[in-house]
A and B are shown apart, each in its own frame.
Chain A
Amino acid sequence: MEINLVKEGKLVLYNVAKNFFNLIFLPTGKFTLLLKSPYLWFFVVYGIFVVCGIFRFLMFNSSLIPLLYLILVAIYSIYNPFGSIHSHRFKVVLIPFEVFFLGSWITKRRDIR
């Protein structure tokens, strides 16, 4: 079977990017299905808050923690570009980071690090 590197490469990159965003916004691989449930909307709004928290950290504070978070997501996206039934388990590992971003954003105490 012949493999078209450009075509397959595009597909892999597309899936890596899709996986990256799916892992940041909680309902992995499901929210692309038109977001019919209010439960999914809730987690997308939550994800937007988390992304705002990360950007706030990156803009105003040269902390390693948001970089560590994004590196973890990137590694997982590259490692498993076509998704998995277990990818939602990886999201659990990211929750402490997100609580940290949101918590320190709410209190405006970013000096704790």
Chain B
Amino acid sequence: MRVLPYILAGVLSISFVGLKLYREVPMGKKIYADLSSLNRLLETPLVGSTDDSYYYFISAYAYYKNFLPVLEMVGGKYLVSFRFLSSWVFVPFMWLFKDHFPLAYIIFFTFAVMLLFVFLLEKLGVKTQIIFLMLFLISPIVFYHIPRLMLEGPTVVLILLFFLFNPVF
């Protein structure tokens, strides 16, 4: 196992997250979410959030509070059916890291994607210099898309895991 490509991937991941924060924190976006109520969660502009992140947060908040996509609203309990299947990816981060979940989500998936890319290339037997080249090649795309509160990160991680650990192929 070669160590240098993994170190480069780690350094690039740190810089991606750092640059994302450097870009978005002065714009007034917050690193920490307020999970005391759904309204506060939805009203806080979070680092790395896109316009549809907040649709996922509604169901994720219901899972976080009630273990089911059920929310208490206007005196009754209602099933939140909007994106209730895919929003579960946020829930383990909410349970583990509470208010820090946006930062944890961003850091986890940026590192996971970059390190799994290196793992895939190493499994294919690509030379170290070519791994470096390909890491820099995909860097702009990873930097722009993965450190965000969206499903791109988890999807890419799933596809990479499919290539790495499937018994069929």
Q: What's the Cα separation between A97 and B169 when bound, in Å?
A: 14
Is there contact, CB below 8 Å, between A99 and B169? Answer: no
Residues of B within 8 A of A46 (CB): 137
Interface residue count on the A side (C-beta < 8 Å): 22
Q: Kindly identify which residue among B121, B138, B145, B159 contacts A89, using a CB–CB cutoff of 8 Å.
A: B145
User: Would A106 and B130 count as touching, CB distance under 8 A?
Assistant: yes
CB contacts (< 8 Å) of B127 on chain A: these are 106
Which chain B positions have C-beta within 8 A of A65? Answer: 163, 169
Range of interface residues on B (Cβ < 8 Å):
20 to 34
Contact among A64, A95, A97, A103 for B121, CB-based, below 8 A? A103
A93 to B157, CA, bound (A): 9
Pair B169/A109 contact, Cβ less than 8 Å: no
- Give the A-B pair count, Cβ closer than 8 A: 57
Asked if B74 CB lies within 8 Å of chain A CBs, one says no
Instruction: For residue A64, give the distance in angstroms from its CB to the closest CB of chain B.
Output: 8
Point out the residue from B137, B150, B160, B169 that lies within 8 Å of A113, measured CB to CB: B169
Q: Are B125 and A109 in contact (CB under 8 A)?
A: yes
B120 interface contact, C-beta 8 A: yes
Provide the main secondary structure of the chain A interface: helix
B27: Cβ under 8 A from any A Cβ: no
Q: Contact check, B152 vs A92: say whether CB atoms are below 8 A apart.
A: yes
Q: Which of B134, B145, B169 contacts A92 (CB 8 A)?
A: B145
B156 at the interface (CB under 8 A from A): yes
Verify if A112 is at the interface (C-beta below 8 Å from B). yes
Q: Tell whether B141 is near chain A: CB-to-CB under 8 Å.
A: yes
Nearest CB on B from A74, distance (A): 17
Nearest-CB residue, chain B, relative to A39: B140
Q: How far is the CB of B37 from chain A (nearest CB, A)?
A: 29
Is A99 in contact with B134, judged by CB distance below 8 angstroms? yes
In the complex, the answer to whether B121 meets A99 with C-beta atoms within 8 Å is: yes
For the complex with contacts A93-B152, A95-B156, 19 further pairs of A-B residues with Cβ separation under 8 Å are A26-B141, A64-B169, A91-B141, A92-B141, A92-B146, A92-B155, A93-B155, A96-B117, A96-B160, A96-B163, A99-B120, A99-B121, A99-B138, A103-B121, A103-B134, A106-B126, A107-B126, A112-B169, A113-B169
Interface set of B (CB-CB < 8 Å, partner A): 117, 120-121, 123-127, 130, 134, 137-138, 141, 145-146, 150, 152, 155-156, 159-160, 163, 169
- A residues with CB within 8 A of B: 26, 46, 63-65, 89, 91-93, 95-97, 99-100, 102-104, 106-107, 109, 112-113
